Amino acid sequence: MAEMSKDIFLNELLGRMTAADKAGQLNLLAGTMDATGMKNTGDLEAKILSGQCGAVLNVYTPAATRALQELALASPLGIPLIFGYDVIHGHRTIFPIPLALACSWNLELIESCARAAAAEAAADGLHWVYSPMVDISLDPRWGRVAEGAGEDPWLGAKIAAAMVRGYQGADLADLTSVLACVKHFALYGAPMGGRDYNTVDMSRRAMEETYFPPYRAAIDAGAQTVMTSFNEIDGIPASGNRWLLTDLLRVEWGFQGWIVTDYTSISEMINHGTAATDTEAAQQALEAGVDMDMMSEAFLTSLPELLENQQVTMEQVDAAVLRVLATKWDLGLFRDAFARCDDARAAAIFQHPATRQLACEAAREAMVLLKNEGQLLPLDKQGSIAVIGTLADSGRDMLGCWIAAGDEAVAVSGLAGIREIAGAMATVVFATGDDLTEAGRLASEADHVILVLGETWEMYGEAASRTTIRLSSHQRKLAKRVLKSGKPCVLVTLSGRPLELTWEDSKFPAILHAWALGSEGGRALAEIIFGEAAPIGKLTMGFPRSVGQVPMTYREKPTGRPFDAAAKYSSKYLDAGNEALYPFGHGLTYGNCDYGPVTVSSAAMLPGGSVTVSAGITNPNPHPVTETLQLYLRDLVASVSRPVKELRAYQRVTLAAGETRIVSFEITDADLTFPGRDFKPVVEPGDFEAMIGPSSADLRAVRFTRLGDAE
**595-643 confidence digits (pLDDT tens):** 999 999 999 999 999 999 999 999 999 999 999 999 999 999 999 999 9
**Confidence at residue 710, expressed as pLDDT on a 0 to 100 scale:** 73
Do 613 and 695 fall within a single domain? yes
Decide: pTM greater than 0.85.
Answer: yes
Classify residue 129: in a domain, yes or no.
no
Considering the domain architecture, whether residues 508 and 605 belong to the same structural domain is answered as no
433 shares its domain with 514: yes
Q: Environment class of residue 567 by beta-carbon count within 10 Å: exposed (0-12), middle (13-18) or buried (19+)?
A: exposed
Residue 28 to residues 60, 84, 260, 535, Cα–Cα distance (Å): 15, 9, 9, 43
Answer yes or no: do 603 and 537 share one domain: no
Residue 334 falls inside a structural domain: no
Whether residues 598 and 543 share a domain: the answer is no
Catalytic site includes residue 262: yes
C-alpha span between 527 and 512 (Å, rounded): 12
Say which of 262, 278, 293, 393 is annotated catalytic: 262
Q: Quote the domain boundaries for residue 537.
A: 354-548
- Tell whether 662 is covered by a domain: yes
> Of 529, 548, 567, which residue constitutes the final position of a domain?
548
Same domain, 515 and 651: no
CATH code of the domain covering residue 685: 2.60.40.10
Residues 399 and 534 both lie in one domain: yes
Of the listed ranges 3-12, 178-187, 275-284, the one predicted with least confidence = 3-12
Which of 491, 514, 548 is a domain's end point?
548
Give residue 668's identity as a one-letter amino acid code: T
Whose CA is closest to 93, among 346, 341, 461, 350? 350
Q: What is the pLDDT of residues 133-159, one digit of tens each?
A: 999 999 999 999 999 999 999 999 999
Question: Is residue 610 a part of any domain in this protein?
Answer: yes
pLDDT grade for 3, boundaries at 50, 70 and 90: low
pLDDT at position 351: 81
Asked if the structure places residue 436 within a domain, the reply is yes
Query: For residue 91, which phi and psi values (nearest 5 degrees)?
Result: -110, -75
**Inside any domain, residue 188:** no
Q: Is there a single domain that holds both residue 416 and residue 513?
A: yes
Confidence of residue 711 (pLDDT cuts 50, 70, 90): low
Residues 478 and 624 in one domain: no
pLDDT digits (tens, 9 = 90+) for 436-456: 999 999 999 999 999 999 999
Element spanning 706, H or E: strand 698-706
Residue 504 domain-assigned (yes or no): yes
Enumerate the β-bridge partners of residue 435.
none
* Domain boundary pick from 494, 519, 548: 548
702 occurs within a structural domain: yes
Which of helix, strand or coil describes residue 124? Answer: coil
- Same domain, yes or no, for 362 and 484? yes
Q: Residue 383's domain is classified under what CATH number?
A: 3.40.50.1700
User: Going by C-beta distance under 8 Å and a sequence separation of 6 or more, which residues neighbour residue 443?
Assistant: 386, 388, 449, 481, 482, 485, 487, 489
Shared domain check, 527 and 620: no
Q: What is the DSSP letter of 383?
A: S
Greatest CA separation for the chain:
80
Residues 527 and 608 reside in one and the same domain = no
The count of domains in the chain is 2
